[in-house]
Amino acid sequence: MKKRNRITVGILLFVGVMTLIGYNYIYQDHRDIATEDSVYVLTASQLIQDFQDHEADATQKYLNKTITVKGTLQHIDETSLVIEDVIFFALSENTDPPTPEQINKLIQVKGRCIGYDSLLEEVKFDQASIVNP
């Protein structure tokens, strides 16, 4: 009787743990770009140069990576910002855009590179946040 109880408890425990592991796998969290370390830290002009020199190589190198870009802030709106007319950042949901006073000033922005926009010749990022120097 005692032995059977122990086996039952063992099986239940095993099933429970497997369910938990399975659930955590299927409903795993999204990446949190803001807390990830940047794989590359570089200037806006370096980054755009890489894409314009060889788009395929640059895509392979930077796509889906967390990157911090330094440059002059050129344009802001409610959900996005542009650095030096060549790097576009869609801000992460809970990030406030910089203030208009910061336009034309140096800024550092961290985000996930989603690729090269060949229509407007810009590199695009999403889930971006402002890095305080």
Partner 1 sequence: MKQTLLCALFFITLSQGFAQKYITKTGMLDFEGSVEAFEPVKATHSTTTAILETSTGKIAVLGLVKGFRFRNALMEEHFNENYMESDTYPKATFNGSIEDFSITDSALKKEYKMQGDLTIHGKTKRIDALVTIIKNGDDIDLETDFIVAPEDFDIEIPNLVKEKISENIRIAVRFHLVKRS
Name the one range near partner 1 by CB under 8 A: 5-13, 39-47, 55-63, 66-74. 55-63
Asked if residue 30 binds partner 1 (CB under 8 A), the reply is yes
Quote the least distance from Cβ 68 to partner 1, whole Å: 18
Q: Torsions phi, psi of 8, nearest 5?
A: -60, -50
Asked if residue 39 binds partner 1 (CB under 8 A), the reply is no
d(CA 10, CA 2): 12
Find out whether 106 and 71 touch, Cβ atoms under 8 Å.
yes
Compose the 90-119 pattern: x for residues touching partner 1 by CB under 8 A, - for all others: x---------------------x-xxxxxx
Name the one range near partner 1 by CB under 8 A: 2-10, 11-19, 29-37, 66-74. 29-37
C-alpha closest to that of 124 among 96, 98, 94, 91: 91
d(CA 133, CA 131): 6
Would residue 84 be called left, alpha or beta, if left means φ above 0 and alpha means ψ between -120 and 50 degrees?
A: left
Interface residues toward partner 1, by CB under 8 A:
25-31, 59-60, 63-64, 79-80, 88, 90, 112, 114-120, 122, 124, 126
